[in-house]
Amino acid sequence: MKRILTVIGARPQFIKAAALSRAIRESFSERIEELILHTGQHYDTSMSEVFFEELSIPRPDVLLDCGGKSQGKQTALMLDGIEQILTAQQIDAVVVYGDTNSTLAGALAAVKLHIPVVHIEAGLRSFNKSMPEEINRITCDHCSTLLFSPTDTGIANLVREGFSAAIPERCTVDAPGAFRCGDVMYDNSLHFAAIAEEKYRIADFGIGREFALVTIHRPYNADKTDRLKALLDDLSWLASARELDVVLPLHPRTRNQLEKEAPEALEAFKAIPGVKLIEPVSFLEMTFLEKNSRMIITDSGGVQKEAFFFHKPSVVIRTETEWVELVELGAAELSFETGEAMRAAFDRALGKEISEWPSVFGDGNAAAFICEQIDKRL
Ligand code: UDP
């Protein structure tokens, strides 16, 4: 029996962890025991509690309180908290997801104690080191023993950074294994879309016509008041000129900025017919909204991919993406400049005929593959 510690702390990680917990429960409960540590990075109910309940993730065995601090302080507190657990418990591997401070802290704490790190969503690069996420990804990959990349691009990035494409029978931090395994989020989208379709109707969300689903939370969008106001203008245009509902589950970071710095702009935006400004929704609700939307506008890493899973064209409000396949296939368009250019990108997305997109994110069984490798290679 291998005893793993899953370290999570942010919304996308709760969702990703659900896939692995499900695979362990269904097929590996005799070989893998999972403890869950929640760092507290996202701590309010809408960003955390609701995900555990709905996604059937076992309650965290350990809950730290590391939310809402500066990057350095937050990571330091997490490191200390995780290290204490790792020294008190017998743990065979630490599993981390993606690219947050919780990922970084989990990886650093474990590798220094010579405990193998399993990084899920390895190899992704935006090639923009001003994003804290990019620093976290690179550091975490280089501390890892098992690296699971959702895409071929991820593996190519790792090979460029010196990882071997050959996979050792037994892996160590000095002889790591990098696997292309598909995307645990694709596992989840398939699993939860069926449940969501049963549970919700469009009318539950007060939506009366075709709609664009929008999320905005990256600091370079959410923390800049003028930019945020310009984005709201473009979304208002979409609702008025293109007669689409615009559904925006507002991330707390973005809401805080608007409430503090531009309350009139926020009120004016809410008053536009067709604009539905709502609280962050649960993953099931989000899945339902994505599946039933006409198009998706987002700066989220996860949401642009989910748009692809559900064959929705997306406009990604960023200058780069680690999910380059989406852009290469024409599913997503990067668009950063507000005004005319953004509106033209909205129009291009609306004009897209979505036929079949190739399945670049695996077959929906990534989590089971990961469990197999943890069992076999460590
Ligand atoms: N999500 C959600 N509710 C929302 C907004 C997003 O469940 O109101 C989900 C979304 O479907 C995706 C994940 O949260 O799976 C993405 O998280 P986020 O955008 O915070 O982070 P990123 O993917 O950019 O790291």
Whether 274 and 368 map to the same domain: the answer is: no
Contact 125, 157 (CB under 8 A): yes
Beta strands in 47-170 (DSSP E): 62-63, 93-97, 117-120, 146-149
Is the pLDDT confidence value at 46 over 70?
Answer: no
Closest-CA residue, ligand 1 atom 3, reads 281
Ligand 1 binding pocket includes 47 (Cβ within 6 Å): no
Contact 109, 79 (CB under 8 A): yes
Domain count, the chain: 2
190 lies in some domain? no
Whether 53 and 147 map to the same domain: the answer is: yes
188 lies in some domain? no
267 — pLDDT class (breaks 50, 70, 90): very high
Which domain, by its residues, includes 137? 2-183+362-377
**What is the domain-level CATH number for residue 249?**
3.40.50.2000
User: What separation in Å is there between the alpha carbon of 303 and the centre of ligand 1?
Assistant: 6
Whether 236 and 325 map to the same domain: the answer is: yes
Ligand 1 binding pocket includes 305 (Cβ within 6 Å): no
By three-state DSSP, how is residue 228 classified?
helix
Cα–Cα distances (Å) from 169 to 139, 143, 175, 176, 182, in that order, read: 24, 19, 10, 10, 21
Whether 156 and 50 map to the same domain: the answer is: yes
Ligand 1 binding pocket includes 9 (Cβ within 6 Å): no
Ligand 1 binding pocket includes 361 (Cβ within 6 Å): no
Whether 6 and 33 map to the same domain: the answer is: yes
Whether 257 and 161 map to the same domain: the answer is: no
Q: Report pLDDT digits (tens) over 132-151.
A: 999 999 999 999 999 999 99
Whether 141 and 261 map to the same domain: the answer is: no
357 lies in some domain? no
353 — pLDDT class (breaks 50, 70, 90): confident
By three-state DSSP, how is residue 275 classified?
strand
Whether 127 and 231 map to the same domain: the answer is: no
Whether 324 and 367 map to the same domain: the answer is: no
Angle between helices 11-23 and 366-377 (to 10 degrees): 70
Closest-CA residue, ligand 1 atom 7, reads 283
User: What separation in Å is there between the alpha carbon of 300 and the centre of ligand 1?
Assistant: 7
32 lies in some domain? yes
370 lies in some domain? yes
Q: Report pLDDT digits (tens) over 220-239.
A: 999 999 999 999 999 999 99
369 lies in some domain? yes
Whether 208 and 147 map to the same domain: the answer is: no
The question of whether 217 is a catalytic residue gets the answer: yes
